[in-house]
Amino acid sequence: MTTLSLRQPLLSVQPKTETPPARQLSSSELLQGNRTIEINHNGAVYRLYATRLGKLILTK
């Protein structure tokens, strides 16, 4: 049978670091009147589409 000591914590608690809030952009700021934009990320090209129903689709 294993005996636990109550003097030592079971888990070490790390203090939380505050992260800055994410920057927000509206889709109209990104698209600027276009239905499609291309985004270069880490050497790959992604396309952001606005559909006729007002949805956004991101493809690689």
Amino acid 16: pLDDT: 79
Predicted TM-score (pTM) above 0.85: no
For residue 17, being part of any structural domain is answered with no
Using the predicted structure, report yes or no on whether residue 39 has a pLDDT greater than 70.
yes
Question: For 43-48, what is the mean pLDDT?
Answer: 98
| Residue 28 pLDDT level (bands cut at 50, 70, 90) | very high
**Complete DSSP assignment for 1-59:** -----TTS-SSPPPPPPP-PPPP---HHHHHTT-SEEEEEETTEEEEEEE-TTS-EEEE
Amino acid 17: pLDDT: 84
Domain extent for 35: 28-59
Kindly report the average pLDDT of the chain as a whole number.
87
For residue 44, being part of any structural domain is answered with yes
For residue 35, being part of any structural domain is answered with yes
For residue 9, being part of any structural domain is answered with no
Total tally of structural domains belonging to the chain: 1
